[in-house]
Amino acid sequence: QISRASSARGGLFFVESLRREGLPSGLVTATRGNHGQSIAIGAREVGIPALIVVPEGNSAEKNAAMEAFGGELLIAGRGFDEARQVAAREGAARQFLMVPPFHREIVKGVATYGWELLTEVPDLDAVFVPIGMGSGICALIAIRNLLGLKTEIIGVVAERAPAFALSYRARQPVTGSGVSTFADGVACCEPQEEPLAIILAGAADVVAVSKDEISEAIRVLYEATHNVAEGAGAAVPAGAIKLRERYMHKKIATVLTGGNIDRDIAARILAGHTPSAS
């Protein structure tokens, strides 16, 4: 992947859909990283500006990547929700189109990796995938249903960002649970109705993993495969390990959705430590 994250496919597909309908004067979005990179890449491809709003304390390396891909970076807000409010105001002032973190055209783009996986390995018993704002898991559910497969889709979240897991158990949106995790790709505190409805209808389970389990999965992935995983990507094998007895002797896949982890955090984890929440 050009941005070391599967979300790049979503941004490219979204912007291509805009080109067919008529491009706006620019795009604006709020993000913690990978989504912003995807929108910056897509906007650059069609020659329009992209304003990317990130919260204070965001990953320095993800910020640099968004600028390298052509995005204009604005650091504002103490968290994602405040950054999103700033993005809406700035977008209105500049007459830019606000890109939400979950959109059907974004899901269609992300679904291309689900198509590749499930057509090449159609006999999987289960696939584990992280849940941020829901594009990845909803894409996999859609492709699984389209192909008529019986593969179970398991969502994975962080214990300190449990909104989707709590909502899955309650069968309705649960908000206000707070977010405190270094795995910023799964740092969701307010599940949106559309992705939650798809997850409730199509996911077999949603499992929460601790920061220690995520850190250990990063070490295992590096030692066993020499792949570098960001927190959200490593949460997936952590979830599979947590449910190993349930899926013993089953054929499963874990989706390593991104490798965008800051060097200092990766170094601490590989040295055997667990980082504190950002």
Which CATH number do you get for residue 57? 3.40.50.1100
**Host domain of residue 48:** 8-98
Residues of the chain under the 70 pLDDT cut: 1-7, 176-178, 180, 277-278
Q: How far is CA 45 from CA 16, 110, 213, in A?
A: 9, 17, 38
Pair (166, 248) in one structural domain: yes
pLDDT at residue number 209: 95
3 is a domain residue:
no
85 is a domain residue:
yes
Pair (112, 244) in one structural domain: yes
Domain limit, last residue, from 98, 125, 154: 98
pLDDT at residue number 3: 43
Beta-strand pair 50-54/252-254: unpaired
Domain count within the chain: 2
pLDDT at residue number 6: 59
Furthest-apart CA atoms within the chain: distance in Å: 56
Pair (168, 224) in one structural domain: yes
The pair of three-digit structure tokens given for residue 176, joined into one six-digit string:
């206000």
1 is a domain residue:
no
pLDDT at residue number 7: 62
Residues 6+ apart with CB under 8 A from 183: 158, 161, 211, 214, 230, 231, 232, 234, 235
Domain limit, last residue, from 58, 78, 98: 98
pLDDT at residue number 11: 87
42 is a domain residue:
yes
Pair (129, 57) in one structural domain: no
- Residue 96 contacts residue 1 (beta carbons within 8 Å): no
275 is a domain residue:
no
- Residue 27 contacts residue 71 (beta carbons within 8 Å): no
276 is a domain residue:
no
Write down the pTM of the prediction.
0.90
Model pLDDT for residues 20-70, shown as the tens digit of each residue = 889 999 999 999 878 899 999 999 999 999 999 999 988 888 899 999 999
pLDDT at residue number 148: 98
Domain limit, last residue, from 74, 98, 122: 98
Pair (131, 39) in one structural domain: no
